[in-house]
């Protein structure tokens, strides 16, 4: 069982690691509830199917861990993770848990001075943890919507990820709604849905 994440952010690698693990646990539990549905349908708002979106998620989580380990300054790493295309969805969700655990463990044991390349801003352990949280929550939302499952990202994870990666995010809204707006998933009162977006992973 994953320990409850602490609130000592923003540079506390242990707290970020706990938050990655807790977010992964919640997202996988939500998706497991729809494991018996049709995962060949497109994920909401994406060109990928729900199953392909899971594969993208595994690649991203392992990739962020790999970037923190290899610490390249000008390129992505050469390791690409993929889920078994023949595996059942429940087994694929196990793979997502493994990928998230690799990221959380790497964040936990990285010193705060570590830096690595990312096309949206060279980043630190906290930044890559926040990227993993955004990937987990945004794509769980995409898949859940396509499968007819009602879900919103957890508030604590949303607060942390928005604060770290979206410094110009609007204020005064529920954190999960703000995260979904920042990632182009929904509109906010007075703010239309974004058609293009990216985070800012640079260390501030």
pLDDT in tens, 58-115: 999 999 999 999 999 999 999 999 999 999 999 999 999 999 999 999 999 998 899 9
| Residue 83 in domain | yes
Q: In sequence order, what E strands does the chain have?
A: none
The 10s digit of each residue's pLDDT in 155-189 is: 999 999 999 999 999 999 999 999 999 999 999 99
Q: Cα-flanking dihedrals φ and ψ of residue 146, to 5°?
A: -65, -30
């801003």: which residue's tokens?
121
Residue 130 has pLDDT above 80, yes or no: yes
Residue 4 has pLDDT above 50, yes or no: no
Indicate which CATH number applies to the domain containing 27: 1.20.120
| Residue 167 in domain | yes
Q: What percent of the chain has pLDDT over 70?
A: 96
**Contacts for 113-118: CB closer than 8 Å, 24+ residues apart:** 114/68, 114/71, 115/71, 115/203, 116/67, 116/68, 116/70, 116/71, 116/72, 116/73, 117/67, 117/72, 117/73, 117/74, 117/75, 117/76, 118/67, 118/201
| Residue 62 in domain | yes
pLDDT on residue 11: 81
Task: Please state, in angstroms and rounded to a whole number, the distance separating the CA atoms of residues 171 and 179.
Answer: 11
Residue 118 has pLDDT above 80, yes or no: yes
Please say whether the beta carbons of 179 and 186 come within 8 A. Answer: no
| Residue 189 in domain | no
| Residue 197 in domain | no
Q: To the nearest whole number, what is the mean pLDDT of the chain?
A: 95
Residue 1 has pLDDT above 80, yes or no: no
Coil, strand or helix at 67? helix
pLDDT on residue 42: 98
Domain count, the chain: 1
Domain range for 169 is 13-182
């Amino acid at each position: 069982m994953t320990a409850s994440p602490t609130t000592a952010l923003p540079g506390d690698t242990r707290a970020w690691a706990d938050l990655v693990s807790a977010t992964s646990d919640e997202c996988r539990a939500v998706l497991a509830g729809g494991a018996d549905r049709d995962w060949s349908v497109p994920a909401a708002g994406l060109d990928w199917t729900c199953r392909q979106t899971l594969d993208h998620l595994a690649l991203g989580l392992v990739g962020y861990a790999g970037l923190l380990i290899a610490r390249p300054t000008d390129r992505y790493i050469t390791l690409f993770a993929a889920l078994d295309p023949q595996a059942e969805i429940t087994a694929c969700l196990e793979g997502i848990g493994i990928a998230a655990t690799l990221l959380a463990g790497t964040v936990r044991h990285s010193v705060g001075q570590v830096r690595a390349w990312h096309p949206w801003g060279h980043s630190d352990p906290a930044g890559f943890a926040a990227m993993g949280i955004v990937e987990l929550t945004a794509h769980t939302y995409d898949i859940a919507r396509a499968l007819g499952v009602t879900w919103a990202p957890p508030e604590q994870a949303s607060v942390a990820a928005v604060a770290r990666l979206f410094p110009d995010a609007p204020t005064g809204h529920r954190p999960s709604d703000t995260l979904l707006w920042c990632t182009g998933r929904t509109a906010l009162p007075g703010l239309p849905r974004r058609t293009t977006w990216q985070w800012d992973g640079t260390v501030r």
